């Protein structure tokens, strides 16, 4: 609830209110320190998602007066992503899903997020097995062979994922699940 309120406060700020942005940034830092999650972990996670915010903000440079819009978008998105990263580091995902249900987010979206979360780990495990198998069969160190083998792994992973998703959907329908 607090993360949603924080993001709404960041979004509601008018452009150019840098003292308010600074205050919210400090409040986020205090929250991070109070959570006792290592700042290095939060920083790494924030840096992992920051290129998406930077990509959106860069589009603002193409319009007149774009530098101010660029800075505002970058500040707002960085603060919002920081709040989401902190939420993800301190709250188990099933509690986030429960909160989404209480906020009356459509149940189909909550169910989709739950299934995505559940099968993301299955997908990562499958990818690891396929990469180990590729490494055990590939003896060449050339980049071309590595790229070609990686492309083959991605293609096979897509096919296996699609097949597995169809089997899971059929099993869910057999148990009475309806969209």
Q: Which residues contact 179 (CB under 8 A, 6 or more apart)?
A: 108
Q: At what angle do helices 18-35 and 2-12 cross, to 10 degrees?
A: 160
Query: Of 79, 82, 80, 78, which Cα lies nearest the Cα of 90?
Result: 82
Residues 6+ apart with CB under 8 A from 18: 75
What is the model's pLDDT at position 83? Answer: 93
Closest CA to 87 of 175, 3, 169: 3
Q: What does each of the 179 residues of the chain score in pLDDT, given as a tens digit? A: 788 888 889 889 888 788 988 999 999 999 999 999 898 999 999 999 999 888 888 888 888 878 888 988 899 999 999 999 999 999 999 999 999 899 898 988 998 898 888 888 888 888 888 778 877 776 667 777 777 777 887 888 888 888 888 888 888 889 887 76
CB 155 within 8 A of CB 132: no
Over the stretch 94-137, which tens digit does the pLDDT of each residue have? 999 999 899 898 988 998 898 888 888 888 888 888 778 877 77
- Report yes or no: 76 and 24 within 8 Å, Cβ to Cβ: no
């Amino acid at each position: 609830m607090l993360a949603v309120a924080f993001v709404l406060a960041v979004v509601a700020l008018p452009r150019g209110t840098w003292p308010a942005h600074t205050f919210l940034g400090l409040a986020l830092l205090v929250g991070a320190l109070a959570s006792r999650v290592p700042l290095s972990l939060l920083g790494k996670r924030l840096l992992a998602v920051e290129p998406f915010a930077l990509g959106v903000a860069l589009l603002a440079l193409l319009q007149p007066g774009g530098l101010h819009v660029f800075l505002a978008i970058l500040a707002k998105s960085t603060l919002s992503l920081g709040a989401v990263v902190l939420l993800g580091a301190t709250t188990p995902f099933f509690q986030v899903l429960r909160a989404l249900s209480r906020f009356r987010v459509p149940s189909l979206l909550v169910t989709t997020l739950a299934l995505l979360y559940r099968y993301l780990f299955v997908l990562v495990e499958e990818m690891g097995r396929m990469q180990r198998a590729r490494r055990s069969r590939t003896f060449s160190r050339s980049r071309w062979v590595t790229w070609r083998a990686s492309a083959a792994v991605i293609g096979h992973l897509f096919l296996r994922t699609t097949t597995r998703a169809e089997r899971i959907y059929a099993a869910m329908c057999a148990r009475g699940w309806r969209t």
